[in-house]
């Protein structure tokens, strides 16, 4: 059962990329073989990857599962995600650990709305599907800057009873933010529970929509992590005035209790270093003349 671990380097595991491709502007997906994660992952959980011996550990949501495969979706913003975007089918990822974090608190709630913004849409179908399987009526809202950044529309349409699309520039669906669409949805009907997943600023703004009505609202937080198992405390966030570790107490929290400004402040801790790392990567990728293979 653990034969997949006897990888090319003998005792050390390697995880094979089965499929890799681009979904939208700067947004990529990878299906990777990781049975120990795939077999046990539930909606809302994440995994940690390290691409190679020199790599950093980064958390990514488990976006979908199929047999022994897990899907990750990411936007190429820093060095690691750029490097990841250059991987092709047949390549290996050095380490995949998980599933980590608590699963979404699905339950039978009635009508649920799952809101995704940008690359955050990656986390939505698995939650929408789980919510519908639990007997909820599920409305999906996905939003992006423009049509070129929109991902998983078909998958969300299939996972939800209704799907609404918004783009900031109106190039597809409703012209405006996901928050505007959510406002209309909750004005028109009784909504029992909302998930909002996207960039921190989008989650902050969008969760204000449900606050006046006191609708149970979850957000999935994405602070900087190292181990992802509660060991380092790098991912600490303030929720309801208490310090929580996003990796083990979350990643989903009550949106109306989260200190988003602090989250955003802490996400910028390594802003300068991230720039250095990415520049160095691009220089190296240029010199090698191949789509960014490193090391």
Partner 1 sequence: MNTPVGAGKEVTMGERPARDRIRDFFEVDCGLSAEEAVAEAERCMQCKKPSCVRGCPVEIDIPAFIARIAERDFRGAARIIKEANLLPAVCGRVCPQEVQCEGACILGGKEMPVRIGELERFVADREREQGLVIPPVAEPTGKRVAVVGSGPAGLTAAAELARDGHMVTVFESLHEPGGVLMYGIPSFRLPKDVVQAEIDQLRGMGVKILTNHLAGASIPVAELHAYDAVFIGTGAGLPFFMNIPGEQLNGVYSANEFLTRVNLMHADRFPEYDTPVRHAGRVVVVGGGNVAMDAARVARRLGARVTLVYRRREEDLPARRAEVIRAREEGVEFELCANPVRIIGTHFVTGVECVRMEMCSLDDSGRPEPSPLKGSNFTIDADMVIQAIGQGPNPLLIRKIEGITYGRKGNIVVDEEGRSSLEKVFAAGDVATGAATVILAMGGAKKAARAIDRMLREDQRDR
Q: Report the alpha-carbon distance of residue 6 to residue 4 in Å, rounded.
A: 6
Instruction: Among 7, 16, 26, 57, indicate the residue that binds partner 1 (CB under 8 A).
Output: 57
Q: Report the alpha-carbon distance of residue 146 to residue 176 in Å, rounded.
A: 10
List the interface residues with partner 1, window 22-41 (CB under 8 A).
36-37, 40
In whole angstroms, how close is the CB of 75 to partner 1 at the nearest point?
17
227 part of the interface to partner 1, by CB under 8 A: yes
In whole angstroms, how close is the CB of 227 to partner 1 at the nearest point?
6
Q: Report the alpha-carbon distance of residue 224 to residue 122 in Å, rounded.
A: 18
Q: What is the token pair recorded at 125?
A: 């179908």
9 part of the interface to partner 1, by CB under 8 A: no
Instruction: Among 146, 171, 234, 257, indicate the residue that binds partner 1 (CB under 8 A).
Output: 234
Q: What is the DSSP string of the chain?
A: --GGGS-TTTTS--EEEEEEEEEETTEEEEEEE-HHHHTT--TT-EEEEE-STTPPPEEEE--EEETTEEEEEEE--SHHHHHHHT--TT-EESEEEEEESPPP-----SEEEEEEEGGGGGGHHHHHHHHHHTT-EEEEEEEESSGGG---HHHHHHHSSEEEEEETTSSSSEES-HHHHHHHHHHHS---EEEEES-HHHHHHHHHHHTTTT-EEEEE-----SSSSSSS-TTEEEETTEEEEHHHH-SEEEGGGB-HHHHHHHHTTTHHHHHHHHHHHHHHHHHHTSTT---
Nearest to 74 by CA among 159, 199, 191: 199
Instruction: Among 183, 229, 257, 285, indicate the residue that binds partner 1 (CB under 8 A).
Output: 229
231 part of the interface to partner 1, by CB under 8 A: yes
Site string for partner 1, 61-80 (x = CB under 8 A): ------------------xx
Sole window of 50-58, 106-114, 122-130, 201-209 interacting with partner 1 (rule: CB under 8 A) = 50-58
Sole window of 119-127, 157-165, 178-186, 270-278 interacting with partner 1 (rule: CB under 8 A) = 270-278
21 part of the interface to partner 1, by CB under 8 A: no
In whole angstroms, how close is the CB of 293 to partner 1 at the nearest point?
15
266 part of the interface to partner 1, by CB under 8 A: yes
In whole angstroms, how close is the CB of 287 to partner 1 at the nearest point?
15
Sole window of 68-76, 130-138, 186-194, 273-281 interacting with partner 1 (rule: CB under 8 A) = 273-281
In whole angstroms, how close is the CB of 284 to partner 1 at the nearest point?
10
Sole window of 110-118, 133-141, 177-185, 276-284 interacting with partner 1 (rule: CB under 8 A) = 276-284
In whole angstroms, how close is the CB of 232 to partner 1 at the nearest point?
4
230 part of the interface to partner 1, by CB under 8 A: yes
Sites of contact with partner 1 (CB under 8 A): 2, 5, 11-13, 36-37, 40, 50, 54-57, 79-80, 94-100, 226-227, 229-234, 236, 238, 243, 248, 262, 265-266, 268-270, 273-274, 276-277, 280
């Amino acid at each position: 059962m653990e034969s997949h671990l006897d990888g090319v380097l003998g005792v050390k595991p390697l995880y094979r990329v089965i499929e890799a491709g681009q979904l939208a502007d700067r947004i990529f997906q990878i299906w990777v073989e990781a049975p120990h994660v795939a077999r046990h992952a539930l909606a809302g959980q994440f995994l940690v990857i390290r691409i190679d011996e020199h790599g950093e550990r980064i958390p990514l949501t488990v976006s979908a599962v199929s047999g022994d495969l897990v899907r990750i979706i990411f936007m190429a913003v820093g060095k690691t995600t750029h490097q990841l975007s250059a991987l092709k089918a047949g390549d290996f990822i050095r380490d995949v650990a998980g599933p980590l974090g608590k699963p979404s608190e699905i339950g039978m709630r009635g009508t649920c709305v799952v809101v995704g913004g940008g690359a955050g849409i990656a986390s939505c179908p698995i939650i929408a599907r789980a919510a519908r399987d639990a007997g909820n009526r599920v409305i999906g809202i996905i939003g992006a800057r423009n049509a070129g950044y929109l991902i998983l529309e078909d998958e969300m349409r299939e996972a939800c009873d209704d799907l609404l699309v918004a783009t900031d520039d109106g190039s597809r669906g409703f012209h405006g933010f996901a928050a505007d669409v959510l406002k209309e949805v909750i004005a028109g009907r009784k909504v029992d529970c909302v998930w909002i997943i996207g960039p921190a600023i989008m989650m902050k703004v969008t969760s204000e929509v449900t606050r006046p009505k006191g609708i149970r609202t979850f957000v999935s937080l994405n602070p900087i992590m190292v181990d992802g198992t509660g060991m380092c405390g790098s991912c600490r966030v303030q929720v309801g005035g208490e310090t929580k570790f996003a990796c083990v107490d979350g990643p989903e929290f009550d949106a109306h209790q989260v200190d988003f400004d602090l989250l955003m402040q802490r996400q910028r801790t390594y802003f300068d270093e991230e720039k250095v790392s990415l520049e160095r990567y691009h220089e190296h990728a240029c010199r090698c003349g191949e789509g960014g293979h490193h090391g």
